[in-house]
Amino acid sequence: MDEKSRRIPATAPAERPTLKTIAYMTGLGITTVSRALKDAPDIGSDTKERVRLVARQLGYQPNRAGVRLRTGKTNVIALVLSIEQELMGFTNQLVQGISEVLGGTQYHLVVTPHSFEKDQMVPIRYILDTGSADGVIISRIEPDDPRVRVMTERNLPFVTHGRTDMGIGHPFHDFDNEAYAYQAVEQLVKRGRKRIALLAPQSRFSYHIHSRIGFERGLVDFQATEVSMGRTTTETSLDEIRAYAERMSRLPEPPDGIISLSGSSSIAMIAGIEAAGRRLGKDVDLVSKQSAEFLNWIRPEILTVTEDVRHAGRELAKAVLARIDGVAPELLQSIDIPVWSAMGPTSRAARAE
Amino acid sequence: MDEKSRRIPATAPAERPTLKTIAYMTGLGITTVSRALKDAPDIGSDTKERVRLVARQLGYQPNRAGVRLRTGKTNVIALVLSIEQELMGFTNQLVQGISEVLGGTQYHLVVTPHSFEKDQMVPIRYILDTGSADGVIISRIEPDDPRVRVMTERNLPFVTHGRTDMGIGHPFHDFDNEAYAYQAVEQLVKRGRKRIALLAPQSRFSYHIHSRIGFERGLVDFQATEVSMGRTTTETSLDEIRAYAERMSRLPEPPDGIISLSGSSSIAMIAGIEAAGRRLGKDVDLVSKQSAEFLNWIRPEILTVTEDVRHAGRELAKAVLARIDGVAPELLQSIDIPVWSAMGPTSRAARAE
DNA sequence: AAATTTACCTGTAACGTTTCAGATTTTTAC
DNA sequence: GTAAAAATCTGAAACGTTACAGGTAAATTT
């Protein structure tokens, strides 16, 4: 009775409205309200209108736990990431792109990282066992990918950022790394380069193979030769990449063209090359893919292709949503082609030097 | 009866176990099982042991929707991000750090971006209205931040990446930008620099103020003068930063020292400085904060402080979890101090040139 | 006018969990 | 040997939702 001992303090938020609230306010049954909000055919149109009005007025939002418990629908998209992902803005862009699409829907984005390559399956199994997502987005795809196999078997909608080679028609979005590598060779040969090195990802990834194929096709078509990068990949530590690049640059016949699949690796490459006294754009040309526009700020001479990861995020999100809605996997496959950067504002800086 | 028309195909996953399953297998009541798994004091210790054994055997995981519906506990931490966040790996690192901590718990990480500064409150209100998270992590903090106010009022556990000045004791983790700016001036003066410019974030952010304070204190203590950056901030587009840096570098008395609060801005600064024909380390020194080690790969001469955003992520996650567990906000406040990079491997590259 | 159809609405049950208020058995106290 | 206390266990109810099986009244058919 005392003012201070009230259950509900003055600042308490209004109780969250439920179907019951709306049912009470409209004088209808809970079922009717539920069906009205779903635009079911057996509800009168004026009733629907009335229910919708009240629902809007109250700011009704369906309780996700209720829906999930009853129907199993989580309204969650899981983004499964390896923590070894590229540093330079990749995840950021991907998340932004996905969110752009999910923003207009009831879906939430849950980010689920896993530590090591061995644990690849852990988050997938967790999602399968607990039913904690309606759809999954994975990256760092391998040609024969166990994650793809198990999600296909268990009928969990998913999309891959990258392609597999498993004879399973699944949704994917990919960047055309084959075309990139091929065109990169072409660009280098056009600049008179003949001895070319390819810094590719680890061989287990699908895009290693794609870039190798494009690269080798390019070597043949444009008549250049390969200089080996040894065991160095884009996953190698930057220090080691730098060291390797320096050693390679001091060879009697060093490469005069280098193609890199990763922006951060390129930074280390440049350091190594220049440490050996070779000059970019003069002694050697570098072609690099990047996920954020930054290499040309540093060295305008670099030929760059910026993979639009944000766009990839949008495509991936749209694909997985469509898959959840039952669209055939074959209709949810897309590939981005490389776009070569025109020399940007920094080219002026270069000329001024 | 026909093999093909069975309800449960050979590949069907075993039904997910629930408390009911365990109750049935142990011959106990559902309540008992529930209490046993929570280690409640009114359950016999041998019963507990038995229940735990069966639960482990079955791979029992509590149904999150059930828990959430009944208790309101979501087991979700929401990371609220502005899409204008720094490009170079910031989000990535933050997410990784948070996940590292959440990985050992029942909590999931939901990433909730919002588009514009105007919409700052939208995701917060959504979370409050729908109870969709047990805790919230926000960044880009303002001295008087409406998000902090409303979450405090409504008693929603949260932690800020940055400090406020509202007289509200709330959990935060921050980088000591004041110390950074102060020490940056010191470093520059030590190198004989006297006319110093500060590229700070927009003035509405708390860390603008902190860096200004440290900067101005440094100017006084070490007897240097300021060269204005005009309206240029770390949020200005890279093109404009470059243009401003170039113009500034062509002044009759250009700055001989520049302090930058953002790694990507520094790239644009460098481009502008060099476009004007000035040389880093010779005519002008640059001090920069960065969230990933990359500036010294590019220009070894830059004095860098790398903010360990991954560590920040861990601290933020730990703080918000502790806050959920009722730990006093005042005990959940931490500040990282600047760590100046020793010249790394690239310094060799620099010397070799 | 009766039978049938149509249009519209609704109560019950269930999803998996926890809280509450007991219930039963065993132990302790006297 | 009985009363009280302690130790263990449990069913019912509720969180918010939707599927199901039906109910009622009006409109249509015959």
Q: Alpha-carbon distance B281 to B257, whole Å?
A: 9
Interface test with B, best of A91, A116, A274, A288 (most B CBs within 10 A): A91
Q: In the numeric block, which tokens belong to residue A263? A: 């922006």
Is the CB of A109 less than 8 angstroms away from the CB of B108? Answer: no
The pLDDT-based confidence of A321 (bands split at 50, 70, 90) is very high
Asked if strand D comes closer than 7 Å to A146 Cβ, the answer is no
Using the Cβ of B349 and the Cβ atoms of chain A, whether some distance falls under 8 Å is answered with yes
Q: Alpha-carbon distance B280 to B260, whole Å?
A: 14
Q: How many residues does chain A have?
A: 353
Q: Alpha-carbon distance A262 to B89, whole Å?
A: 14
User: What is the average pLDDT across A40-48?
Assistant: 94
Partner A, chain B 122-141, Cβ-Cβ below 8 Å:
128-132
pLDDT over 60 at A10, yes or no: no
Nearest chain B residue (CA) to A78: B110
Asked if strand D comes closer than 7 Å to B150 Cβ, the answer is no
Q: Alpha-carbon distance A31 to A8, whole Å?
A: 30
Q: Determine if the pTM surpasses 0.75.
A: yes
* pLDDT at site B115: 78
Is the CB of B272 less than 8 angstroms away from the CB of A66? Answer: no
Which bases of chain D are contacted by protein, using any atom under 7 A from a CB? 7-12, 14-22
Return the CATH fold of A3-61.
434 Repressor (Amino-terminal Domain) (1.10.260)
Q: Alpha-carbon distance A33 to A27, whole Å?
A: 10
Q: In the numeric block, which tokens belong to residue B85? A: 């966040």
Q: Alpha-carbon distance B242 to B258, whole Å?
A: 13
pLDDT digits (tens, 9 = 90+) for A83-131: 876 666 788 889 999 999 999 899 999 999 887 777 899 999 999 999 9
Note whether B113 and B132 are within 8 A (CB).
no
| 3-state helix vs strand vs coil in chain A, percent to 5 | 45, 15, 40
Which bases of chain C are contacted by protein, using any atom under 7 A from a CB? 7-12, 14-22
User: What is the average pLDDT across A139-146?
Assistant: 96
Chain A residues 46-65 within 7 Å (CB) of strand C: 47
Return the CATH fold of B177-306.
Rossmann fold (3.40.50)
Q: Which nucleotide is nearest to A29 (CA to C1')?
A: C10
Asked if strand C comes closer than 7 Å to A303 Cβ, the answer is no
CA-based end-to-end distance of chain A: 81
Phi, psi angle pair for B143, to nearest 5°: -55, -40
Bridge partners of B197, per DSSP, are B227, B258
Note whether A88 and B294 are within 8 A (CB).
yes
Please list every residue in chain A whose beta carbon sits closer than 8 Å to the beta carbon of residue B81.
Answer: 95
* pLDDT at site B346: 39
* pLDDT at site A14: 65
Partner B, chain A 226-245, Cβ-Cβ below 8 Å:
238-239, 242
Asked if strand D comes closer than 7 Å to A106 Cβ, the answer is no
Note whether A83 and A114 are within 8 A (CB).
yes
Is the CB of B83 less than 8 angstroms away from the CB of A65? Answer: no
Q: Alpha-carbon distance B39 to A260, whole Å?
A: 56
Angle between the N-to-C axes of helices A19-26 and A45-58, in degrees from 0 to 180, rounded to the nearest 10: 120
* pLDDT at site A346: 39
Of the candidate CATH numbers 1.10.10.60, 3.40.50.2300, 3.30.2350.10, 3.30.70.1070, the domain formed by B71-175+309-339 belongs to 3.40.50.2300
Cα B235 to Cα A249, B232, B264: the distances in Å are 38, 8, 10
User: What is the average pLDDT across A211-215?
Assistant: 98
* pLDDT at site A161: 97
Note whether A138 and A319 are within 8 A (CB).
no
pLDDT digits (tens, 9 = 90+) for A159-189: 999 999 999 999 999 999 999 999 999 999 9
Q: What is the mean pLDDT of chain A?
A: 91
Asked if strand D comes closer than 7 Å to A8 Cβ, the answer is no
Using the Cβ of B71 and the Cβ atoms of chain A, whether some distance falls under 8 Å is answered with no
Helix (H, G, I), strand (E, B) or coil at A79: strand
> CB atoms < 10 A from the CB of B116, how many?
10
pLDDT tens digits in sequence order for chain B, 353 residues long: 333 333 333 334 568 999 999 999 999 999 999 999 999 999 999 999 999 999 999 999 999 999 999 999 999 999 999 887 666 678 888 999 999 999 989 999 999 988 777 789 999 999 999 999 999 999 999 999 999 999 999 999 999 999 999 999 999 999 999 999 999 999 999 999 999 999 999 999 999 999 999 999 999 999 999 999 999 999 999 999 999 999 999 999 999 999 999 999 999 999 999 999 999 999 999 999 999 888 999 999 999 999 999 999 999 999 999 999 999 999 999 999 999 986 544 333 333 33
Helix (H) or strand (E) holding B51: helix B45-58
Nearest Cα residue to A87 out of A260, A290, A252, A317: A290
Q: How far is B45 from chain A (nearest CA, A)?
A: 28
Domains A71-175+309-339 and A177-306 share a fold: yes
Q: What is the mean pLDDT of chain B?
A: 91
Residue spans of the domains in chain B: they are: 3-61, 71-175+309-339, 177-306
Note whether A110 and B110 are within 8 A (CB).
yes
Q: How far is A121 from chain B (nearest CA, A)?
A: 15
